[in-house]
């Protein structure tokens, strides 16, 4: 029995809605990502970068606040209100009772407000260095995920080739067994090796899927594969001077921003040794025929404990400045050592790759050709031909593993420094450059 379902054509009014909803779903589409597309997608979809930009905006708003005078204080009250006698709580029967209205303003000097603004600007720089650090980390992680997926795919393809080769080997071994040219042990051995390789292929497939999941995590795009060629695995980071690194390496930018912020806070603390004066003007109203009055006053804090308060604040901030400088020097040494190490890994790794490509792989190819020639001449066994072919594929797998290792070292080296073009478009504060 067959069942048929009659469907009605989609209403023309619903077509745009369906199409828009399909495109609006971020997970509706999956695509193969090229290297540069993955990097751009990561920067476009990163929630961490959006959060960092919000932090920068918050710091900029606080900087505007730091340069303002405190809000004036409106004051109102009644002075000398009688508490007892013939007219308790009367505001008009006693000559000394006054209704008072006034305003009070704490005065912060222009120099102090400039110092507070400067400290706020340094805080903006510090927040922006956090953004740059996360940007560099995002680029490293995205590049590493793409490279891992790229080599995982090539590795999986090599295992597919190996298993296809072993399927042919099993068929040939069984044919030899039927012709009494091979034993049952030969057949079992080849089948056992094939099963082992299939298990390894599943592991390779899992690594490929894990790499694609990681790539999707960093790019915000559902990646079902990678496409395009490798980027040129060349880096000029090792040739950058220390001064160039200081303005392009986010960790050094952050360490430098910490020094500037500590120095600015020290200047603010030093200015607090001079107290802020508070001015007050009051208008005092009395009932007629009594005259109204005006009072003017000033409040001046007396820093009688400056050695344990203001001086300590200056000392504390100066110590933080010393700490920031020492950490900056330590970070410089750490970054330089890391760059030297990664550069060495890249150079020596490329030399090892060249030896495998131009040394070992040609020899493996030659071994296959010799084994095939011996077999055709009747001087060698078919099993030796298959063994030589497997060894060649295994050498290819070793080469892929080494190439991935070198490529990941390159990503760590190249993307820990931000390119000038990206620095110019990322909103770097002027004094952070």
Between CA 116 and CA 122 the distance in angstroms is 10
Q: What is the mean pLDDT of residues 55-76?
A: 93
374 pLDDT tier (thresholds 50, 70, 90): confident
- According to the model, what pLDDT value does residue 421 have? 82
- According to the model, what pLDDT value does residue 121 have? 94
Q: Whole-structure pTM over 0.75, yes or no?
A: yes
In the three-class reduction of DSSP (H, G, I as helix; E, B as strand; rest coil), residue 169 is classed as helix
- According to the model, what pLDDT value does residue 297 have? 95
Percent of the chain with pLDDT over 70: 86
Q: Domain 35-432 in CATH: superfamily?
A: Outer membrane efflux proteins (OEP) (1.20.1600.10)
273 pLDDT tier (thresholds 50, 70, 90): very high
Other CB atoms within 10 A of residue 188 CB: 11
Domain boundaries, the chain: 35-432
Which residues in 328-352 are b (16+ Cβ under 10 Å) and which e? beebbeebeeebeebbebbeebbee
- Comparing 159 with 166, the larger pLDDT belongs to 159
- According to the model, what pLDDT value does residue 60 have? 92
Average pLDDT, the chain: 85
> Per-residue pLDDT for 126 more than 60?
yes
DSSP class of residue 306 equals: G
> Per-residue pLDDT for 29 more than 80?
no
Q: Does an H or E element contain 121, and which?
A: helix 110-178
In the three-class reduction of DSSP (H, G, I as helix; E, B as strand; rest coil), residue 314 is classed as helix
- According to the model, what pLDDT value does residue 193 have? 74
In the three-class reduction of DSSP (H, G, I as helix; E, B as strand; rest coil), residue 418 is classed as coil
> Per-residue pLDDT for 10 more than 70?
no
- According to the model, what pLDDT value does residue 377 have? 81
- Comparing 397 with 323, the larger pLDDT belongs to 323
Between CA 220 and CA 135 the distance in angstroms is 15
């Amino acid at each position: 029995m067959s069942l048929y379902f009659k469907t009605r054509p989609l209403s023309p009014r619903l077509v745009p809605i369906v199409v828009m909803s399909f495109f609006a779903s971020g997970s509706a589409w999956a695509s193969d990502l090229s290297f540069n597309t993955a990097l751009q997608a990561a920067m476009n979809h990163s929630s961490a970068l959006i959060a960092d930009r919000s932090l920068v905006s918050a710091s900029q708003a606080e900087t505007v606040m730091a340069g303002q005078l405190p809000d004036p204080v409106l004051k109102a009250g009644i002075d000398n209100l009688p508490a007892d006698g013939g007219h308790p709580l009367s505001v008009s029967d006693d000559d000394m009772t006054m209704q008072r209205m006034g305003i009070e303003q704490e005065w912060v000097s222009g120099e102090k407000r400039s110092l507070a603004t400067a400290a706020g600007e340094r805080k903006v720089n510090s927040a922006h260095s956090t953004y740059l650090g996360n940007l560099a980390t995002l680029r490293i992680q995205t590049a590493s995920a793409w490279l891992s997926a790229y080599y995982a795919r090539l590795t999986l393809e090599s295992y597919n080739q190996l298993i296809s080769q072993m399927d042919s080997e099993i068929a040939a071994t069984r044919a030899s067994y039927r012709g009494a040219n091979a034993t049952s042990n030969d057949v079992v051995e080849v089948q056992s090796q094939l099963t082992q390789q299939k298990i390894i292929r599943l592991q390779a497939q899992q690594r490929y899927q894990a790499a694609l999941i990681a790539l999707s995590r960093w790019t915000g795009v559902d990646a079902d594969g990678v496409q395009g060629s490798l980027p040129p695995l060349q880096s000029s980071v090792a040739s950058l001077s220390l001064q160039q690194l200081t303005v392009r390496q986010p960790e050094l930018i952050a360490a430098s921003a910490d020094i500037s912020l500590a120095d600015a806070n020290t200047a603010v603390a030093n200015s607090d040794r001079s107290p802020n004066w508070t001015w007050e003007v009051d208008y005092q109203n009395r009932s007629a025929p009594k005259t109204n009055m005006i009072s003017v006053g000033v409040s001046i804090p007396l820093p009688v404990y400056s050695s344990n308060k203001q001086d300590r604040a200056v000392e504390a901030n100066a110590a933080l400045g010393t700490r920031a400088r020492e950490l900056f020097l330590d970070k410089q040494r750490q970054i330089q050592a890391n760059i030297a190490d990664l550069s060495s890994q890249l150079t020596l790794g490329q030399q090892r790759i060249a030896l495998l490509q131009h040394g070992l792989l040609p020899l493996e190819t030659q071994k296959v050709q010799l084994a095939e020639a011996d077999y055709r001449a009747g001087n060698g066994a078919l099993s030796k031909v298959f063994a030589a072919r497997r060894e060649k594929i295994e050498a290819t797998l070793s080469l892929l593993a080494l190439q991935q290792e070198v490529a990941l070292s390159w990503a760590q080296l190249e993307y820990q420094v931000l390119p000038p073009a990206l620095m110019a478009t990322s909103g770097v504060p002027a004094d952070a450059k």
